[in-house]
A and B are shown apart, each in its own frame.
Chain A
Amino acid sequence: MRMLDRKLLRDLRQIWVQCLAIALVLGCGIMVLILATGTQRSLEATRAAYYEQNRFADVFATLTRAPRSLLAEIARLDGVARVEGRVVFTAMIDLEGKPEPAAAIVISVPPSGEPVLNVPVVRLGRMPRPDHLEEVAVSEAFAEANGLRPGDSFRAVLNGQMRPLRVVGLVISPEYIYTVGSGAIEPDDENFGILWLSERAAASAKDLSGAFNDLTLTLARGADERAVIAGVDRLLAPYGGTGAYGRDRQPSNVFIEGELKQLGAMATVLPPIFLAVSAVLVNMVLGRLVALDRGQIGLFKAVGYKTRAISAHYTKMTVGIGLVGILLGWAFGWWLGHGLTEIYTRYFRFPSLLYRPGAAPMAISGLLGMAAAVFGGLRAVRSATRLPPAVAMSPAAPPVYHRGWLDRLGGRLRFRQTTMMILRSLVRWPGRAAVTLFGVSGSVAVLVTSFFTFDAIDLILDELFERANRQDATVTLAHPVNARAELDALALPGVMAVEGLYAAPVRLVNGTRSRLVSLQARAPDARLSRLLDADGEALQMPTAGLALAAGLADALAVEPGDRIRVDLLSAPRGTWEIPVSAVIRQSLGQDAYMNRDAFFQLIGEAPQVNMLHLAIDRNRLPELQAKVQETPTIARFTLWSEIRRQFEETLDESLATMTVIFASLGMLITIGVVYNAARIQLAERAYELASLRVLGFRRSEVAYVLMAEQMLLTLAAIPAGWLFGYGFCMLMAEGFSTEVVTIPVVVTRRTYAVATLIVILTALASVLVVRRRLDRIDIVHSLKQKE
């Protein structure tokens, strides 16, 4: 072995703890990046494979009733690959021992026994046989939540008729990865499920033999989706088609898209900060480590080593440290990413897991990490080899200072000399101060961004449950009925107030932009369910015109005063031009609202309702639920307290975990930056600080010089951190907002304060650890080191 290599090994053995610490910082940055991007990419790949293998449809449409012969005509449309007509409807399920009925969507299974499109994956048992009308396959999540297994039986209300059904299989479907019932916000596996019945059973229940009321189709390669949708709409219009839509409006897919988009935001906003900070830190620390070897570098030059050989020697060391960090980061990122992908796969019930973290994030993080390590070392080697060997071998000359504005300031403010030492050090090494400022402000920003999610959620919850929806329950009716139903509902046990509304599917069109949404016609004096203005205050329903959720108005690019085309997709069908009269604040969902009287006047019909918001007496809830269960006209009964519980539960799990992870990493940045900066200071100024002790300075006075500099930088970094943090919050809100969820950018003072406090305390703890080293410094010994 060559002597330089032997020296390298011995050196590494001496400073392995420090090297490992540097490698860990780098590894942390790389790990977060691999974890976040790997999980997101893998889930995208898994979902794509699931869609592909199970032939998830491209276009969906619902209609009232059409003969099956129409399917051939639709299949002939240009760009259509495969078509399937189904019978789909909602039903109520009566499970033994369950007080409230569950809701379900019933889907017909063709006589062949296997659907052409949206093919379910049988997880247990089998699909229902064509001639066995009582057989049913149940969505796995619903079955698990209710303890259903093949062989079990339950009763369902199919189109007003109570029918016994027997479970033969548990299945999952690409069409219902996310099973959210109408009116619900989060999946509620216990109260909402999907049932697959043989076509005969489904059609006879719905009186649709030889007909279909639901259409799905796949597109040929290169087909124009808009053209196909237009063609389908034209063909279905006579049969009560409510407007075909693509995957971008398919509820389950929209939710998954949202989740993946949020994961993408997680992967693109925070991890690069970690990687950047760790790269800067590694660069700085390795540079100092090599700089301490200045004397030896001079010696190598003196005995005839070429600069290139010396650079290669130190590069071996930095490459080694970088490599350890990168491998650790990759390994842990890969491992944790796999774990997280597995959790998501279970959560979404994907049939298989494709873990594809992708080469690009690994290559990028590896290259950046290696560059940071190698350049940090080379910078120090270059400055040492530039000196004549004799100079390099003797102790470094004292740094040169100059007088300037700082001296006038210090003189005027009568700073103590120890304070002047701190200020001059900051001005003399602005680069070093900048690294600390950058790191600490990054840390504040990460913490602000982490805690911001709670602010946003609080606001959404407050808006959703305290200001906008103050009803206790919502009843969805099987069919629209005369508005007098409000009075009937008042007679139900425990009902104290009722607000009826009419929800109709509409297509809103502004030029080339269009959206399929639900238009709610409601009474102007509604007090239970209210509309909110931009400031979150209750808004009086305009007497005429549309009120649009802000996200919807954005998507359609309309403002109050603009006129917009409204295609009513349910009876009596028709198209109107209606002005937009208000834009409202709605964090969840994208709905359009209109005054009930104005709406029914416009379409020329008598006022009707198909949904009822109720205020109820909680003590009489069981009585009410029992009554609801035996009322066939009620398709669905939703308790808002239940929605809120599910919502908070889901948030608590996923959000709290992520927040804790990112907040801890945010604290780690402060520790890494401040501790390392203080350690470097101590190493370089030990002589100077020991001199102060000799002169009779107390430990606390000497510690002040070391600690105050770091704390001053920490304090200075905080306002910048707030600013960066707010910027990241905007990015996060942008990234987390989907077509259905609008994340408000609100950062409370509490969030800023908590982030600030955590950073200050973390920085203080970091410098106190270094102070303990300073206290232990041997005065005589450190004075001798100079010789």
Chain B
Amino acid sequence: MSEEASGHPAILRTAAVTKVYRTGAVAVHALRGIDFALYPHEVVALLGASGSGKSTLLNILGGLDRPTSGRIFFRDRELTNLDDEELTEFRRAHVGFVFQFYNLVPSLTARENVALVTEVAENPMRPEEALEQVGLSARLDHFPSELSGGEQQRVSIARAIAKRPEILLCDEPTGALDSTTGVTVLDALIEVNRNLGTATALITHNVEIRRIADRVVYMADGRITRVEENEARVAPSEVSW
């Protein structure tokens, strides 16, 4: 669903964004002029080999990192020059993150990990409701160490969506999971996207997973090499790897 298709303006947009990491004398060009837009309700898959710049782009979109040059907009608001505290407020209000290694707080139960976010959010859903959306109503009071990898990742999705974010950024959410477990996690993501209309960007290097997205953005060497639109999204249950 592009702008034309959805009829909505982009919720996140970058213009000629570059990112250069300097370590000593070596300069690594992680991004070399990215023009990218994310629209409400859509699911975008970012595909590319390791080191292609996917994670760097996702971090910049989510306000975890700043571009070396170029501009970035959230709706009409420019994020490029926000300071650290302003970026924190942006993330707090609008962005949900899901990472490959779940990033759960080990000393908090599933419900509490979600409550961690709902306590500081403006208009959150109840933690139980968020966990129900990812099918974990039965495991509310379990600590991360008592949950399987797939369950932990679904807690992390519940935590990301509990504040009803407009944007959900997922960095290899199934990277540490086997195929069957991965499908349940993707199911949860698609379900959330359908129910809440959250614009979702999903990094993967698994080509099969691209089929569940509306658009597929291919990256290599810090550039977007190709963008594909899927005619119709495939349900995660039909995907396997």
Interface residues of A (CB under 8 A from B): 397-403, 416-418, 420-421, 424-425, 428, 687-688, 691-699, 701, 779-780, 783, 786-787
A554 to B112, CA, bound (A): 64
A401 touches B88 (CB 8 A): no
List chain B residues, Cβ under 8 A from A400.
143, 145
Q: Smallest CB-CB separation from B99: which chain A residue?
A: A783
Q: Smallest CB-CB separation from A705: which chain B residue?
A: B105
List chain B residues, Cβ under 8 A from A417.
105, 108, 112-113, 115-116, 119
A401 touches B85 (CB 8 A): no
A–B pairs, 16, beta carbons within 8 Å: A399-B145, A403-B109, A403-B141, A417-B112, A417-B119, A688-B106, A694-B62, A696-B117, A696-B120, A697-B120, A698-B88, A699-B84, A779-B65, A780-B59, A780-B64, A783-B99
Instruction: Tell which of B36-44, B90-98, B181-189, B209-217 binds the partner.
Output: B90-98
A316 to B129, CA, bound (A): 55
List chain B residues, Cβ under 8 A from A416.
119
Q: Separation in Å of the B88 CB from the closest CB of chain A?
A: 5
Whether B73 is near chain A, meaning CB under 8 Å from some CB there, is: no
List chain B residues, Cβ under 8 A from A692.
105, 116
A401 touches B91 (CB 8 A): no
Q: Which 9 A-B pairs have the closest CB atoms?
A: A696-B92, A424-B107, A398-B106, A691-B103, A417-B116, A696-B91, A401-B143, A400-B145, A417-B112
A695 to B145, CA, bound (A): 21
Q: Smallest CB-CB separation from B118: which chain A residue?
A: A417
Most chain B beta-carbon neighbours within 10 Å: one of A402, A780, A787: A780
Say yes or no: A779-B116 contact (C-beta < 8 A), given A424-B107, A695-B97: no
B145 touches A397 (CB 8 A): yes
Q: Smallest CB-CB separation from A698: which chain B residue?
A: B88
List 19 additional contacts besides A403-B143, A779-B64, A780-B65; criterion CB under 8 Å.
Answer: A398-B106, A398-B144, A401-B106, A401-B107, A417-B113, A417-B119, A691-B104, A692-B116, A694-B103, A695-B92, A695-B97, A696-B117, A697-B92, A697-B120, A698-B88, A699-B84, A783-B99, A783-B103, A787-B100
Within 8 A of A (CB), among B179-199: none
List chain A residues, Cβ under 8 A from B218.
none
A696 touches B93 (CB 8 A): yes
Chain A residues touching B, majority SS: helix
Q: Separation in Å of the A607 CB from the closest CB of chain B?
A: 83
B120 touches A428 (CB 8 A): no
List chain B residues, Cβ under 8 A from A420.
107-108, 112
List chain A residues, Cβ under 8 A from B74.
none
Which of A428, A693, A694, A696 lies in contact with B107, CB distance below 8 A? A428
A399 touches B106 (CB 8 A): yes
List chain A residues, Cβ under 8 A from B107.
399, 401, 420-421, 424-425, 428
A418 to B95, CA, bound (A): 20
List chain B residues, Cβ under 8 A from A687.
103
Whether B13 is near chain A, meaning CB under 8 Å from some CB there, is: no
A403 to B141, CA, bound (A): 9
Q: Smallest CB-CB separation from B169: which chain A residue?
A: A694
A424 to B108, CA, bound (A): 8
A699 touches B85 (CB 8 A): yes
Whether B164 is near chain A, meaning CB under 8 Å from some CB there, is: no
Within 8 A of A (CB), among B57-99: 59, 62, 64-65, 84-85, 88-89, 91-93, 95, 97, 99
A400 to B144, CA, bound (A): 8
A418 to B115, CA, bound (A): 10
Say yes or no: A398-B112 contact (C-beta < 8 A), given A696-B120, A783-B103: no
Q: Separation in Å of the B139 CB from the closest CB of chain A?
A: 13
List chain A residues, Cβ under 8 A from B93.
696
A402 touches B143 (CB 8 A): yes
B85 touches A698 (CB 8 A): yes
List chain B residues, Cβ under 8 A from A694.
62, 64, 91, 97, 103
List chain B residues, Cβ under 8 A from A691.
103-105
List chain A residues, Cβ under 8 A from B100.
787
Q: Smallest CB-CB separation from B93: which chain A residue?
A: A696
A398 to B64, CA, bound (A): 24
List chain B residues, Cβ under 8 A from A696.
88-89, 91-93, 95, 117, 120
Which of A398, A402, A403, A418 lies in contact with B116, CB distance below 8 A? A418
Q: Smallest CB-CB separation from B94: which chain A residue?
A: A696
A695 touches B116 (CB 8 A): yes
Q: Smallest CB-CB separation from A399: which chain B residue?
A: B106
A636 to B72, CA, bound (A): 94
Q: Smallest CB-CB separation from B111: which chain A residue?
A: A417
Whether B54 is near chain A, meaning CB under 8 Å from some CB there, is: no
List chain B residues, Cβ under 8 A from A695.
91-92, 97, 116-117, 159
Q: Separation in Å of the B30 CB from the closest CB of chain A?
A: 11
A786 touches B106 (CB 8 A): no
Q: Smallest CB-CB separation from B117: which chain A residue?
A: A695
Q: Smallest CB-CB separation from B59: which chain A residue?
A: A780
Within 8 A of A (CB), among B113-137: 113, 115-117, 119-120
List chain B residues, Cβ under 8 A from A398.
104, 106, 144-145
Which of A693, A699, A779, A786 lies in contact with B101, CB distance below 8 A? A786
Beta-carbon contacts of B124-166 to A below 8 Å, as 1s and 0s?
0000000000000000010111000000000000010000000
Q: Smallest CB-CB separation from B116: which chain A residue?
A: A417
Q: Separation in Å of the A684 CB from the closest CB of chain B?
A: 11
A425 to B107, CA, bound (A): 7
A401 to B147, CA, bound (A): 12
Q: Separation in Å of the A179 CB from the closest CB of chain B?
A: 68
Q: Separation in Å of the A395 CB from the closest CB of chain B?
A: 9
List chain A residues, Cβ under 8 A from B141.
403
Say yes or no: A701-B120 contact (C-beta < 8 A), given A400-B145, A693-B88: yes
Q: Separation in Å of the A404 CB from the closest CB of chain B?
A: 12
A783 to B108, CA, bound (A): 19
Q: Smallest CB-CB separation from B127: which chain A residue?
A: A417
A416 to B115, CA, bound (A): 9
Q: Separation in Å of the B147 CB from the closest CB of chain A?
A: 10
List chain A residues, Cβ under 8 A from B64.
694, 779-780
A416 to B108, CA, bound (A): 11
A418 to B113, CA, bound (A): 10
B88 touches A699 (CB 8 A): yes
List chain A residues, Cβ under 8 A from B119.
416-417
Most chain B beta-carbon neighbours within 10 Å: one of A402, A417, A693: A417
Q: Separation in Å of the A615 CB from the closest CB of chain B?
A: 72
Q: Smallest CB-CB separation from B121: which chain A residue?
A: A696
Q: Separation in Å of the B150 CB from the closest CB of chain A?
A: 16
A401 to B107, CA, bound (A): 6
Q: Smallest CB-CB separation from A775: which chain B residue?
A: B84
Q: Separation in Å of the B153 CB from the closest CB of chain A?
A: 14
Q: Separation in Å of the B19 CB from the closest CB of chain A?
A: 11
Q: Separation in Å of the A774 CB from the closest CB of chain B?
A: 13
Q: Smallest CB-CB separation from B114: which chain A residue?
A: A417
List chain B residues, Cβ under 8 A from A783.
99, 103
A691 to B159, CA, bound (A): 12
